[in-house]
Amino acid sequence: MAHEGKTVAVVGAGTMGSGIATVTARSGHRTLLYDVSEDGLTRGTETVRGFFDKSVSLGKMTSPEAADAKANLTGTTDLKDLASCDIVIEAVFEDAAVKKQLYRELDEIVSDETLFHTNTSTLSVTSIASGSRRPERVVGTHYCNPAPLMKLVEVADGRHTADWAHKATIEFLTSLGKTTVVAKDRPGFIVNRFLIPWENSCIMALEAGLGTKESIDAAITGALGHPMGPFRLLDIVGLDIHQQVATRLYEQLRDPRFFPPPMVERMVAAGDLGRKTGRGFYSYDGSRLFGS
Ligand SMILES: NC(=O)c1ccc[n+]([C@@H]2O[C@H](COP(=O)([O-])OP(=O)(O)OC[C@H]3O[C@@H](n4cnc5c(N)ncnc54)[C@H](O)[C@@H]3O)[C@@H](O)[C@H]2O)c1
């Protein structure tokens, strides 16, 4: 793929950050993956590299393409290394205070030209942007998980997002091969307004004994054409993340369909968070966060 000449920093090397860094490195952008945790960074970098190796073994990338993509990726735990980036894609914990603090720190490090993309699922883009003294440069970009495989990104402007920042964001996402939809800065944007109640109803169906996880997954993929069933998807998303997103949306929308069913709490308490812990609805032997 042609090199777009952008230097992109992905902040947070967890499920979404490693997935997004895979996409940007694969698309020819110089990609700097940053995490506060050394372990988190190592895991995230290995996930990205593992994805490229797997893509070669599946015939989806050539070895030289994978080598180029890997060469585009660098890791760091020093925020100052982000000084020369054109775009920061933030995928840290879903916590407004953590996100705002990060933007405050970034304001002192990156140039005035740098765009900030926040990958929040439930928080207000306007509120996150208030952490920065350049809210006109902050745009919500909600990638679907797994980011290397799913095409859609929702784009939501904060109250002070500039038109040019919105346009530059759409252009950049298009350079990644993504399809964009514009959403309002409202809880859950568009996708999670539908996805979360649907996932909850699948979990309740499992709890009620309507089918096994395998039969419900097979029914959904077979009948509705989804690329994977709800339990495979929830294992990729992470049960802790599902619980957090569902609870936050319930708190904001006061609609009981968003409240996570009791099975979610039990799984989180047991540490069965999905692929990242090796066990969720299904068991996994590798530490890969997403497939190829
Ligand atoms: N998991 C999903 O399906 C999904 C989908 C779309 C959007 N999101 C959103 O993406 C964001 C990240 O979610 P995730 O599932 O990747 O979480 P995660 O827990 O897998 O990863 C978060 C990472 O951020 C790092 N981190 C925390 N604070 C940091 C800081 N101040 N600076 C740098 N790194 C920091 C952590 O060490 C961790 O590696 C959240 O806002 C979440 O709502 C998640």
Which residue minimizes the CA distance to atom 18 of ligand 1?
14
Across the beta sheet with 115-118, what order do the strands follow? 73-76, 30-34, 7-11, 87-90, 115-118, 138-143, 152-157, 179-183
Report which ligand 1 atom has the smallest distance to the Cα of 99.
31
- How far is residue 108's CA from residue 152's CA, in Å, rounded to a whole number? 32
Nearest to 191 by CA among 231, 136, 150, 131: 150
Assigned CATH for 7-183: 3.40.50.720
The protein residue whose alpha carbon is closest to atom 32 in ligand 1 is: 36
Q: Is the dihedral of CA 145, 151, 152, 153 positive or negative?
A: positive
What is residue 292's predicted lDDT score, i.e. its pLDDT? 35
Residues with CB under 6 A from ligand 1: 11-17, 34-37, 40, 91-94, 98, 102, 119-121, 142-143, 145, 237-238, 241
pLDDT, position 5:
73
Q: 238 vs 51, 141, 146, 264, CA distance in Å?
A: 18, 20, 11, 10
CA of residue 244 to ligand 1 center, whole Å: 12
Question: What is d(CA 145, CA 42) in angstroms, rounded to the nearest whole number?
Answer: 20
pLDDT at 3: 47
Residue in this structure with the two tokens 């990104």, named with its chain if needed: 153
- End-to-end alpha carbon distance in the chain: 18
18, 27, 72, 121: which one is catalytic? 121
CATH topology identical between 7-183 and 192-277: no
d(CA 274, CA 240): 9
For this structure, is 4 an active site residue?
no
DSSP 257: G
Topology of the domain covering 192-277: N-(1-d-carboxylethyl)-l-norvaline Dehydrogenase; domain 2 (1.10.1040)
192 is annotated as an active-site residue: yes
Q: How far is the CA of 120 from the centre of ligand 1 (A)?
A: 9
Of the residues 18, 117, 119, 154, only one is catalytic, namely 154
User: Is 121 among the catalytic positions?
Assistant: yes
Sign of the C-alpha dihedral computed for residues 280, 282, 285 and 288 taken in this order: negative
**For every one of its 292 residues, what pLDDT tens digit does the chain have, with 9 covering 90 and above?**
444 579 999 999 999 999 999 999 999 999 999 999 999 999 999 999 999 999 999 999 999 999 999 999 999 999 999 999 999 999 999 999 999 999 999 999 999 999 999 999 999 999 999 999 999 999 999 999 899 999 999 999 999 999 999 999 999 999 999 999 999 999 999 999 999 999 999 999 999 999 999 999 999 999 999 999 999 999 999 999 999 999 999 999 999 999 999 999 999 999 999 998 999 999 998 655 554 3
Q: 126 CA distance to ligand 1 centroid (A)? A: 19
Domain ranges of the chain: 7-183, 192-277
- pLDDT score recorded for residue 286: 62
Note the residue count of the chain.
292
Q: Considering the entire predicted model, what is its pTM?
A: 0.92
> Which residue's entry shows tokens 């399809």?
179
Q: What does residue 179 show for φ and ψ, rounded to 5 degrees?
A: -100, 135
Among 147, 93, 102, 84, residue whose Cα is nearest residue 122: 93
